[in-house]
Structure 1
């Protein structure tokens, strides 16, 4: 066993132990479904902000984005620009209002304030849907798209272990998902949020250190130069000979598709859960500043990682290895023990998103399935254990998807991101700002957006050939469906009163809970 492998094993082991210890520490504090799903709504600004980052920026940030930049050049940077805008917009437009509305809206089934624990229950209560249709449809969309999203993280985990330890990707997926399930199973939302803070710091430090060291190595080595010249910034590595493709950074479809990723933030349940779990809407501005600052700098550094990979490697990486450019740089540049820490940061990126998504998916099964339709009177402790069982179930299915396919991280993330962004983004946004929006419009927008996101990839690939990201037509279809179908229903007096009460509380300058 080499010193490099030994260092990586030791570092990874310490990281795993810390994650599990946090889960055990929180275990005794988890006594109700509210604790397990939203941590009792007690996140402070720092934890909420950094947890939102870690749960959002998965392996896509440390593997997918640098790999895409390495292959395609500056054209892929539009994704980062769109995400930065969308992330800031989600904190500004959604966070405070959603925090208040999920707690204050009248319970559609029993009356009184609802304290909605999930996105699906919020939609049911916001639109007074006693039939349960909105809750059921939204829960199904959450489960379907999260299976692909969690699978993307497991694919990344498999690639990392294969690269570092020479372990088969399938074995790595099984080991990785077992660790994630263990601490999520034990501690729920609080364990996930506290581990996210550690993981966010690790990810940011890794993104800062690696490109700096690479740039120093390139600038001080007289035998190195920027491979491909200035064109490398605008083009991308193509083919086994490492030739550069023509620039496409300013092609309209590339720009529009990249920027459209930003809208996805308005509909990601695992990020919206951080808005719902924050201690008070008064904590939102500070949390948003922390979160957006981290996100913008982290994405900028991830772009630099991709470009430094182009300049550093004399022999270009094969196309199927492009998403390993970050770990390849780490192993080539760093002392084995430092490399172990930095590689653990990549693992942190994977796990910090997978755990949040498992938690939201398990809540959909427990709160929006079992409790809503099968056993309204279930005890608090029984719901916690059912949620834990749901975590295991969802993880097992996602692992099956990861083990059976060879999709890239970017493909899987892009598919799920568009589904959530189009299925929930327009509905959530309008639900917080449009007083007369009703159940008919919400249901039409959710179904149309989700279906369009799924159908577009097939239609475009086989018929249209535009290469336009599915988010664009799917979001447009969702907004159109809402506007067309909303007149088919009506907002009840209770819904309008709820809206006015929440709107007034949100705008009130006095502290709120």
Structure 2
């Protein structure tokens, strides 16, 4: 049972989030401020903000749940997320720092035409909305446990808090709240809960003696599961709109590169901590009917009054940072890639900000509505991740690193790979890993074959033009 002090800490935290949204209004003077925080974040803001948007409820609950079931190997889910962020920092930062755009689909549109922009924008919007839905549902579950409310009221209140500060302050509000959420998450999970849990369990040596020996193996979760996390999260993290939009807030290439790499390392550390916490819970609280309760039940068992409130605020932070980032990402794509790109009307920065706020409110409302009625969010999320990684990753690589790929070839690649992904999900089921594999292979083959055909056609055309030029020169010479 929570004390009044714990309730007070949680209430103050939520009021602070809304207050940040109101304060952030003064920081916004143009579209760039609202969408990418003015592209001027240094390490102090960029690193925690990038880390927080990646580490959501799935990361926090997922790593501790897997740790409870499989031990230290439960780290792989979040570790793959961290490796994806590392990959983006190492391979994409130089290109991203030079792009003055707001979305992934805008890049594809600039390189390969409007059709590629609209199709990729649709896929990316669906993906981000479904990620925000999972976060809002998680917020609802927490509020139900904390306050005893119905699930409907919990989702409504939690969703409205996130939508409100995101709509008011845009990326500035999301950034500032994410920085606060980052510190609460890391202090709460790594510096408070993990050491106190280890102490309560009798120390690392005692834990090692009491757990199943397989819990100390890095592969206990299984090679298939590790490969699944790689497919789902490694590629998706490198091209996610919510991740790119946060990358665009960095003030220069150096900050983007190093800051993103630091964020990836912090994600891996967080995953290790989550797995350790789950393993500790398996010793302190053996036999839980629901392994997902490992983290909250450990909080209530080992922490004193006051610190319980801090830790529950930390868990709330993890979930809310994902919800706000993905709602902002969906709104940006809808405004930037579907409304402004098709409109001939010249709009001022003030009008664009107003439009984006309206769209953010609508997107947030849609996410809350879906959260209230959708029965199986995991199904929708698996489909969204499969489409994102299976059909968008190869075209993004082509846009960033290959200058000679044509718009026609890229559009064909997106369509065929999307059809392959959807077809496999229908045939093998939504949990099929082959959907992403086949989608990536299909996209790469279309790119490769299409580029070869295009090169051959260009060579033939050039050859014919050379023949015609020589014949013309011969005719001119004869006439002389």
- Please give the range of the TM-score, normalised by the shorter of the 2 chains: 0.7 to 0.9
**For residues 279-298 of structure 1, what are the structure 2 equivalents within 5 Å?**
279-298=251-270
CA distance in structure 1 between the aligned counterparts of 2:404 and 2:226, rounded to whole angstroms: 34
Equivalent residue in structure 2 for 1:445, among 413, 416, 440? 413
**For residues 101-180 of structure 1, what are the structure 2 equivalents within 5 Å?**
102-103=99-100, 116-127=101-112, 129=113, 132-180=114-162
Closer/same/farther in 2, CA of residues 52 and 66 from structure 1, 3 Å limit: same
- Where does residue 216 of structure 1 map in the other structure? 199
Query: Are 2:440 and 1:475 aligned?
Result: yes
CA distance in structure 2 between the aligned counterparts of 1:306 and 1:17, rounded to whole angstroms: 30
Report if aligned partners of 1:75, 1:254 keep a CA contact under 8 Å in 2.
Answer: no
TM-score, structure 1 normalization: 0.81
CA distance in structure 2 between the aligned counterparts of 1:461 and 1:73, rounded to whole angstroms: 29
- Structure 1 residues 365-388: Cα deviation after superposition (integer angstroms, max 9, x where no partner): 111111111344122211111111
- Where does residue 429 of structure 2 map in the other structure? 461
CA distance in structure 1 between the aligned counterparts of 2:154 and 2:170, rounded to whole angstroms: 23
CA distance in structure 2 between the aligned counterparts of 1:412 and 1:201, rounded to whole angstroms: 31
Closer/same/farther in 2, CA of residues 344 and 422 from structure 1, 3 Å limit: same
Query: Are 2:386 and 1:403 aligned?
Result: no
Query: Are 2:421 and 1:421 aligned?
Result: no
Question: What's the CA shift for 1:478?
Answer: 2.6
- Where does residue 39 of structure 2 map in the other structure? 41
Closer/same/farther in 2, CA of residues 274 and 57 from structure 1, 3 Å limit: same
Gaps in structure 1 of 5+ consecutive residues:
104-115, 236-246, 491-513
Closer/same/farther in 2, CA of residues 468 and 124 from structure 1, 3 Å limit: closer
Report if aligned partners of 1:224, 1:312 keep a CA contact under 8 Å in 2.
Answer: no
SS at match of 1:336: coil
Report if aligned partners of 1:26, 1:190 keep a CA contact under 8 Å in 2.
Answer: yes
Closer/same/farther in 2, CA of residues 206 and 457 from structure 1, 3 Å limit: farther
Equivalent residue in structure 1 for 2:183, among 201, 223, 229? 201
Question: What's the CA shift for 1:450?
Answer: 4.2
- Where does residue 27 of structure 2 map in the other structure? 29
Question: What's the CA shift for 1:289?
Answer: 3.9
- Where does residue 169 of structure 2 map in the other structure? 187
Question: What's the CA shift for 1:363?
Answer: 1.2
Question: What's the CA shift for 1:270?
Answer: 0.5
Report if aligned partners of 2:83, 2:264 keep a CA contact under 8 Å in 1.
Answer: no
**For residues 56-455 of structure 1, what are the structure 2 equivalents within 5 Å?**
56-73=54-71, 76-100=74-98, 102-103=99-100, 116-127=101-112, 129=113, 132-208=114-190, 209-219=192-202, 229-233=212-216, 249-251=221-223, 253-260=224-231, 261-314=233-286, 316-318=287-289, 321-407=290-376, 413-455=381-423
SS at match of 2:182: helix
Question: What's the CA shift for 1:395?
Answer: 1.3
Gaps in structure 2 of 5+ consecutive residues:
456-480
Aligned residues: 453
- Structure 1 residues 208-251: Cα deviation after superposition (integer angstroms, max 9, x where no partner): 1212211111117999996653244569xxxxxxxxxxx96444
Report the aligned-residue RMSD: 2.8
